Structure 1
Amino acid sequence: MIDVKDLTKRYGALTAVDGLSFRVRPGVVTGFLGPNGAGKSTTLRMIVGLDRPTAGTATIDGRPYARLAAPLRQVGTLLDATAVHPGRTAHHHLSALAATAGVGRSRVDEVIGLAGLDSSAHRRAGGFSLGMGQRLGIAAALLADPPVLILDEPVNGLDPDGIRWIRDLMRGLAAEGRTVFVSSHLMSEMALTAGHLIVVGHGRLLADEPLADFITRAELDTVLVRTSEPDRLHRMLAGPEVTVTAVDRGVFEVAGLDAQQIGDRAAAAGVTLHELSTRRASLEDAFMRLTRDAHDHRENA
């Protein structure tokens, strides 16, 4: 488990992380979201001891990273997939890490296979594509079979097969009871992978809740309506609490009324509808609304 309490990081007059508190529990993939500059990378670096907090604490299973007896065996991290000597082969790189952690050679071969690096194991890492570099970084994080995983943008550079592989891998590891904490800008992927979300903005906590609750809380449900009578549709739906937005020719998004209410009004007014469907809020919708509101609040504060 990862426990962050009142974590703060200042660089002179700039506060990158501001009193952040949250807990990442085992058994579920926890997504870490926030706009650029929100403090995500700084937070991850403080959790694994690469940056020293100005105030507050970050612990893993009750201890700061620097005080873990065997860090590689307890925490697997992917913060920068390019942090590999370009002259080393994938096998050499993983073997060197294994030697420092007391991991057997058989495990090196195992994670090479798990990461799909069999055909590239003896190639120099300097010649790897971005996606292959990501696979090597993920293999390194998994090397000592740790119960806690911290992954920053793990799908970056992966092709569709690779994205599905890492998605299934993270969900499988969480199902085994591990703590999986993953940062990503890909909302569509987080919607398929994470069960819980930590969302930050301007270094402050904006949300800490199950993904489904986060989306529901956004209250962005709209109804898609298609008609050949747009003028009559507008007159029929007019009201102070109703918003009608044109999406395409004869296609509108309606907020403020549900599908049944729109259908009943159309039937009563004799307006022909060719499509009537509820559009639920997506993770991207919820995220954009929450972070925009937070930005506006900070701007006006």
Structure 2
Amino acid sequence: MTRPPTPDHPPVAPTGTDAARTDAAGIHAYGLTKRYNGRTVVDDLSFTVRPGTVTGFLGPNGAGKSTTLRMLLGLDAPTRGRATIGGRVYAAHPAPLHQVGALLEARSVHPGRTAHHHLTALAHTHGIPRSRVEHVLDLAGLSDVARRRVKGFSLGMGQRLGIAAALLGDPATVILDEPVNGLDPEGVLWIRTLLKSLAAEGRTVLVSSHLMSETALTADRLIIIGRGRLLADTTVDEFVHRSGALALKVVSPAAGTLAELLAGPGVEITSDTPGELTVRGTDGEHIGRTAAAHALPVFELTPLTASLEHAFMNLTRDSVEYQAAAYQADTAREGATA
């Protein structure tokens, strides 16, 4: 029986007919390794991004995310390993814009061109009709500024143009690096809705981001790396649940008595507000039955889970390249200079 791939036992790159069958859709990385000047930036990284889901690609600064994306897109050659998109390495696609739409650097546009001219030039390289240019301009909310030179665009408008370019070829796979960077709240909602709709159409969507709150609202699955190695490949819900931060909020006028009754080995109870408990180490059924058995009123019994940010920080704390010291106010100095 074949053992399923895990971070400790990554998938082996298939060959022949097996490769055609398993690599037919999605993104597949097999033992990707990249070294620069003797330093390993990406280290034996294997993962799969499947169609029909939004996959968040996370990691602290220096984790190797950008290098990995560049290897996926053929911009950097791996020292070892390989990656395929839609069954082929990127360079082997005869019309790559139709297969892969990518945004790595929104400002990689000639500033003297208009948005319309930029997209039209890209379209000509693949025989994409003018109607598609108009469509993606409208999709990105840029129709009204399509004839303006890009040098006058704000950061958010530049991001929208980069996303429009990524979608120009109606690609089966979309890879975006920090797509919400510079977007206003309406733009953030737009990109969130767009990514979900692309996945719902059966496309493969890989999104790198530092915004945990937005990733929690957008992504279905997560690939998390640290120091170039795979740390997690799982769903958002499972990752947060496994962080071990599951707790229950209990509101009761008899909170003190209830806390005494619930106390026991493995049970952690804290209270920052009178009449309110935060309980870890037991479940809601036990709390409810204990309260009922002693006729103690309970006004609220709510499960609490850690945020994605909390779970991410717990996982990657040993993989952070630069750690800042916690801020502490120098009250003595402030008092002396007041």
| TM-score normalized with structure 1 length | 0.88
Q: Is the 8 A contact 2:71 2:78 kept in 1?
A: yes
Greater shift, 57-66 or 234-243, is seen at: 234-243
1:244 corresponds in structure 2 to: 269
Change (3 A) 1:247 1:47: farther
Amino acid at match of 2:102: T
1:100 corresponds in structure 2 to: 125
Which of 205, 222, 226 aligns to 2:251? It is 226
Shift of 1:247: 4.2
Q: Secondary structure at the match of 2:31?
A: strand
CA distance in 2, matches of 1:234, 1:91: 65
Shift of 1:217: 2.9
Shift of 1:256: 0.7
Q: Does 1:290 align with 2:304?
A: no
Shift of 1:129: 1.6
CA distance in 1, matches of 2:276, 2:62: 37
CA distance in 1, matches of 2:144, 2:220: 34
Q: Secondary structure at the match of 2:176?
A: strand
2:33 corresponds in structure 1 to: 8
CA distance in 1, matches of 2:91, 2:102: 14
Q: Does 1:118 align with 2:143?
A: yes
1:23 corresponds in structure 2 to: 48
Q: Is the 8 A contact 2:63 2:319 kept in 1?
A: no
Which of 109, 112, 116 aligns to 2:134? It is 109
Runs of 5+ unmatched residues, structure 2: 1-25, 321-338
Q: Is the 8 A contact 1:236 1:269 kept in 2?
A: no
Deviations 1:87-137 (A, max 9, x none): 221111111211222222221111100110011111222222221111100
Change (3 A) 1:247 1:129: farther
Q: Secondary structure at the match of 1:107?
A: helix
CA distance in 2, matches of 1:246, 1:86: 57
Deviations 1:15-38 (A, max 9, x none): 221100011121222221222222
Q: Does 1:43 align with 2:49?
A: no
- Residues 245-284 of structure 1 correspond to what in structure 2 (within 5 A)? 245-248=270-273, 250-267=275-292, 273-284=298-309
1:175 corresponds in structure 2 to: 200
CA distance in 1, matches of 2:227, 2:162: 28
Which of 157, 170, 193 aligns to 2:182? It is 157
Q: Secondary structure at the match of 1:151?
A: strand
Which of 142, 146, 150 aligns to 2:171? It is 146
Shift of 1:45: 0.9
| TM-score normalized with structure 2 length | 0.79
CA distance in 1, matches of 2:272, 2:179: 34
Q: Is the 8 A contact 2:256 2:275 kept in 1?
A: no
Shift of 1:243: 1.8
Change (3 A) 1:274 1:208: same
Amino acid at match of 2:161: L
Q: Secondary structure at the match of 1:244?
A: strand
Q: Is the 8 A contact 2:136 2:168 kept in 1?
A: yes
Runs of 5+ unmatched residues, structure 1: 297-301
Matched pairs, number: 295
Greater shift, 42-51 or 5-14, is seen at: 5-14
Q: Which has the greater radius of gyration? A: 2
2:224 corresponds in structure 1 to: 199
Amino acid at match of 1:30: T
Which of 215, 221, 245 aligns to 2:240? It is 215
Q: Does 1:88 align with 2:113?
A: yes
Q: Does 1:136 align with 2:161?
A: yes
Shift of 1:142: 0.5
Q: Identity of counterpart residues, as a percentage?
A: 61
CA distance in 2, matches of 1:205, 1:115: 33
CA distance in 2, matches of 1:295, 1:261: 38
CA distance in 2, matches of 1:254, 1:130: 45
CA distance in 2, matches of 1:247, 1:104: 62
Which of 58, 70, 91 aligns to 1:33? It is 58
Deviations 1:147-197 (A, max 9, x none): 111011112222222222212221222222211111122223222222222
Shift of 1:289: 2.9
How well do the aligned residues superpose, as a CA RMSD in angstroms?
2.3
Change (3 A) 1:33 1:91: same
